[in-house]
Amino acid sequence: MENKTIELVQESFKKVVPIADKAAEIFYGKLFEKDPSLKPLFKGDIKDQGKKLMSMIGTAVSGLNNLDALVPVVQNLGKGHAGYGVEDKHYDTVGSALLETLEAGLGEAFTAEVKDAWTEVYTLLATTMKDAANSLPLEKGLTERKKRLVQSSFTKVAPIADTAAEIFYNKLFELDPSLKPLFKGDIKEQGAKLMSMIGTAVNGLDNLDAIVPAVQNLGRNHVDYGVKDEHYNTVGTALIYTLEKGLGDSFTADVKDAWTEVYTLLATVMKEAANQVESTTTANKPWWKIW
């Protein structure tokens, strides 16, 4: 990167700093106008978010003179963004919202030269972030990025857990009405337990070894509830459907893949534990000895 480019970006950013709040407001206005489906990705207070964004841009801009130090920070930021559900194509939308914001904030000082310089800097940051996000699967096994996607999308389902549970059971019984009699307890309580178990599992993804025994236990209990292997597919379908309804536009193909993988993993552990119960304890025993 040429010194001239760095200088143009740093000098023009100095003029944005005093109007940072306003700039952040313009930025989000433009961003959500371009792509309203990005709105649900931002969970935090949009004002705080705007401050963080401006301060990060500030850090990046002042770090341009020492790219070696800046790159790891930006790579980390990119990995974090994968967890927010940010996809490669979103970087173009953010880039054009940013340039338009600079244009609105700088007025005549936003010359063609300044625009080119910012385009070059943004492209460098975005490329570094995207590369880091896409390297996650290679770096830490394909589940790392998926874990983050599942965890971040679940935080959006948790506040609407009651509704989600309702959607889930309606869908489940629509898919297979014969499952209804298996559920003896109050369906609302059941829904709350299901969501809390999924929450535990989702939080436990970072330390799978620790949650496996609990999931195995759950699988063994499910045998007593009358649950059969083939029911896991139906429940999986109802769960994915629920997530799709609950997450709306933020239920991207990536998020869907990630959930499918996580559900398959949990279901496999449960089924295996259940089948072991049958072969070791219940096989060859009459029912009155089992009970």
- Sites of contact with ligand HEM (CB under 6 A): 38, 41-44, 49, 52-53, 56-57, 77, 80-81, 84, 86, 90-91, 94, 125-126, 129, 179, 182-185, 190, 193-194, 197-198, 218, 221-222, 225, 227, 231-232, 235, 266-267, 270
Residue 53 beta carbon to ligand HEM: minimum distance, rounded to whole angstroms = 5
The C-alpha atoms of residue 138 and residue 134 are separated, in whole angstroms, by 8
Nearest residue (CB) to ligand HEM, 49 versus 216: 49
Nearest residue (CB) to ligand HEM, 6 versus 107: 6
42 token code pair: 């931002």
Nearest residue (CB) to ligand HEM, 90 versus 284: 90
Which residues, 6+ apart, have CB-to-CB distance to 133 below 8 Å?
A: 78, 79, 81, 82, 86, 88, 145
Q: How many CB atoms lie within 10 A of CB 165?
A: 21
Residue 84 beta carbon to ligand HEM: minimum distance, rounded to whole angstroms = 4
280 token code pair: 């070791």
Residue 125 beta carbon to ligand HEM: minimum distance, rounded to whole angstroms = 4
1 DSSP 8-state letter: -
Question: Tokens 């959006």 belong to which residue?
Answer: 156
Q: How many CB atoms lie within 10 A of CB 157?
A: 20
Contact by Cβ (8 Å): 242, 167: yes
Nearest residue (CB) to ligand HEM, 13 versus 91: 91
Nearest residue (CB) to ligand HEM, 38 versus 117: 38
Residue 217 beta carbon to ligand HEM: minimum distance, rounded to whole angstroms = 8
